[in-house]
Structure 1
């Protein structure tokens, strides 16, 4: 896997990044409907013409492998041979970095998570997609299509790729009994102080909010991405308290895996790919979905509104979500594939069961990343919620 330093790029021009404060947040009606949210009027592509010979991508690590890291892990080279579109992939470590990169105008498509996708839609950087041109769209899980993170007012802005939970990872030889609650990392007197890890991003505030939903029900948190000032202040206070016990804030998944392997980290929030890497190197590491639930990601391939190579971009969207390729990426990264037929193509025939693909009960406990906006995403109209710009500012203060 790539050795990638996932540097947080705190974006200073936060008007657009926080949905320009103009994004109205009530998720009423149906999936993807958003009262008062009126993104720029853009036309979806009408047809896929000849490829332009080049494709510039922004992707999460492991999403655009070309065999350079492992000769057996390569779904870019076959795509290039089939389409003539030469792929240049830039790996991003955070959603903030993805948003910053797409605004350079140098890229054609991006594998955006929910805490970036609505920002791209609201700012006019993401184009609506013509799902009729995407041959695999019909086989995408209904739980991932036309959701609040990848559609607005019945218009699709991409094709779902994969999804997963931000789990609690722990060393089985150091943590006993096996943890069942996030209290193991948030308690002020945690026995694992200085050996706790946390994801280095403002969106980690939502992890604190998920814990507080159960730990302090009197706060009334219903959606970890819709926090009024009192709720937000409680999440910030919790993370400032936790800061004293943190051994490492991680943004490079290989370094996070190395910390688990060495024992510098014995417990903390993690991605499955981190755990897979550590276990592959012999570390005794396991994961848990705590009783409080967890945050998670649902990634969507989106096309830049001013893409220089839109035909190659559409061909990539079709390719990366085809059953065989979607299965390859899912197994390599450690996530549930969006294409339901991919489960028939995995090397491990129990893979989709292990990763809970299509498991409605499991995913009902996962809060997929979303962009916090002033108009509360939980439907409240009698208060204002704290927008993402303030999450960024608070994160800087939390880390000190």
Structure 2
């Protein structure tokens, strides 16, 4: 398999700079208008000859980092759109950079997409102008992290689950529940690891959905004050057994290699690396389900090169380009056709709708309850960030 880029791609995905998403309740109409970046394009013109892309490391490779890794050059040759790229390390960094107006396209995770939409930084997209959109898995389309009121704000890229990793020597029988990092965490005190981000609160909420149904949690990103408090209490208890919170995947690989960590949240690609090195580890999707991510390519509302931007969204969703890009990072591709160009789709459960249905993809918490409740106000991302600081102490 190809190794993921030499960077903590999702490390510290969420920082402290919080953008308001209160306007989101006004976003998105059937026509794609509103306070969310204007209308979608109705037709395309000639390509402008250039496009500026803001992306996670490893998402826009042109051979500079590795001469054998290049899916940008074919795009340039095909479209005439020269590509300039800037990478970012956190979603908050991307949010701030998008406000400069210097970028036509951004790859956004679910903890950033709604904030970009609410801030008017990205525009709706006309999927009819993106031929390869038709081949994308249906379960990735029209989702809360990439659409508002049925209006698409981008094209799905790759996706994956935040899995439970365990040391097979410590756990000769594979665990089936997240209880090993929550209610039973003390059994491995000091060797439990957890993802270092406010969005990890949702992992606790997924667990509580199954084990404390009286809390009434129906969506782990839609928590009222009492539900958030319950998740915080669970994570404070877990904190006593956590040896290290991780955001750099290389550090987690090292911790499981040395045995400093024996159980905790992880990604399939990390397990693939560890397996290749002969480490005694494995991963499982527990019975409660899991959180995960589904990234979205979005177009700036004031894009200077909208035609080349649309060309990029179509190209990166094409089977071969999508296969190459998602394999390089280490995630499932966005279409079955992409699997014709990969030999590891089974390991990533690509296209498995039942598997995907067990994943709660990262979605920005907002005051408008995402689970449909109207009798309460849900906690927003700022509240989650404050809670995370409290949890970690």
TM-score, L = length of structure 1: 0.88
* Shift of residue 178, structure 1, vs aligned partner: 1.6
- Show the counterpart of 2:25: 24
* Shift of residue 58, structure 1, vs aligned partner: 2.7
- CA distance in structure 1 between the aligned counterparts of 2:78 and 2:345, rounded to whole angstroms: 28
* Shift of residue 288, structure 1, vs aligned partner: 0.4
Do structure 1's residue 236 and structure 2's residue 232 form an aligned pair? yes
**Which consecutive residues of structure 1, in runs of 5 or more, have no partner in the other structure?**
27-31
- CA distance in structure 2 between the aligned counterparts of 1:57 and 1:264, rounded to whole angstroms: 38
- CA distance in structure 1 between the aligned counterparts of 2:272 and 2:131, rounded to whole angstroms: 31
Q: How does 1:236-275 map to 2 (within 5 A)?
A: 236-275=232-271
- The number of residue pairs the alignment matches comes to 386
Cα gap change, 1:263 to 1:76, in 2 (>3 Å): farther
Do structure 1's residue 362 and structure 2's residue 355 form an aligned pair? yes
For 1:187, which of 171, 183, 186 is the aligned residue?
A: 183
User: Could you say what the CA RMSD is over the residues aligned between the two structures, in angstroms?
Assistant: 2.5
- CA distance in structure 1 between the aligned counterparts of 2:263 and 2:43, rounded to whole angstroms: 49
- Show the counterpart of 1:173: 169
- CA distance in structure 1 between the aligned counterparts of 2:29 and 2:255, rounded to whole angstroms: 42
Cα gap change, 1:7 to 1:212, in 2 (>3 Å): closer
Cα gap change, 1:33 to 1:276, in 2 (>3 Å): farther
* Shift of residue 125, structure 1, vs aligned partner: 0.6
- CA distance in structure 2 between the aligned counterparts of 1:223 and 1:145, rounded to whole angstroms: 18
Q: Is the 8 A contact 1:161 1:339 kept in 2?
A: no
Do structure 1's residue 90 and structure 2's residue 63 form an aligned pair? no
**Which consecutive residues of structure 2, in runs of 5 or more, have no partner in the other structure?**
none
* Shift of residue 390, structure 1, vs aligned partner: 0.5
- Show the counterpart of 1:107: 103
* Shift of residue 309, structure 1, vs aligned partner: 3.0
- Show the counterpart of 2:375: 382
List per-residue Cα deviations over 1:174-231 (Å, max 9, x = no partner): 3332221111111365332222221111111000100111122221111101111111
TM-score, L = length of structure 2: 0.90
For 2:15, which of 10, 31, 44 is the aligned residue?
A: 10
Q: How does 1:1-400 map to 2 (within 5 A)?
A: 1-5=4-8, 6-7=11-12, 10-12=15-17, 14=18, 17-19=19-21, 21-24=22-25, 39-40=35-36, 42-187=38-183, 189-346=185-342, 348=343, 351-400=344-393
